[in-house]
Amino acid sequence: MILSASHSIGRLLLLVLLTFALAGCATQVDRVDRDVPGDLSGRWNDTDSRLVSEEMIDDMISRGWIQRHQGRTGSNPTVIVGDVRNLSHEHINVNTFVRDIERELLNSGEVTFVASGVERDAIRSEREDQRGNVREETRSLAGREIGADYVLTGTINTIMDTEGRTEVAYYQVDLALTSLADNTRVWVGQKEIRKIIRRGMFRS
């Protein structure tokens, strides 16, 4: 009888331990708002991309080049996002950053925005495919694209400084807006981010 009770207790303890082990191995997902900063590694992330694009576009549209263009032409300037290069030491999804820039430009209401080179090629291919395949009255005709007045280009650079388990990550984003008519720069912006990363004792 005593042996049977001990056996039952042992099985119960084993079941409890197994339950805790399974709970520890389970994947947990927490859905958070996009405005809540999330820094797990200290590297460039979606929050950095969004904040940098918002601040730089706010600065861009607050300058006088838009008013000068409107006074000269009577219309809003047309902008295209060109080459934004990642020159940093780490992988940064530049496409996400470019999309953030595009969104802020569109939402500003101050500029007319046109598709980038790669997107234009896809659109032109679709327009060509429509010829002979869709009803004439619904077909989009070639030669009606709006040319850009300005192209936005830029770079993302980093400098890393490490001492023991402490790192300082310095990000510098440079953007420039250039007139396609005469190659003059109408706006230059720079945004810096500095992060101090302290690694745990058992993390490499």
pLDDT in tens, 17-48: 766 665 555 555 454 454 555 555 567 788 88
Residue 56 resides in a domain: yes
Greater pLDDT, 146 or 83 = 83
CATH number of the structural domain spanning residue 112: 3.40.50.10610
Q: DSSP E strands: which ranges in the chain?
A: 78-86, 112-113, 150-163, 166-179, 185-198
Greater pLDDT, 65 or 15 = 65
Residue 49 resides in a domain: yes
Name the most confidently modeled range: 1-5, 22-26, 61-65, 87-91: 61-65
Name the amino acid, one letter, at 128. E
> How many domains are there within the chain?
1
State the chain's mean pLDDT as an integer.
Answer: 79
Residue 29 resides in a domain: no
C-alpha–C-alpha distance, residues 98 and 47, integer Å: 14
Going by pLDDT thresholds of 50, 70 and 90, the confidence category of residue 134 is: confident
Going by pLDDT thresholds of 50, 70 and 90, the confidence category of residue 99 is: confident
Q: Which domain holds residue 93?
A: 44-117+147-198
Residue 156 resides in a domain: yes
Greater pLDDT, 35 or 184 = 184
* DSSP single-letter state for residue 45: -
Whether pLDDT at 171 is above 70: yes
Residue 15 resides in a domain: no
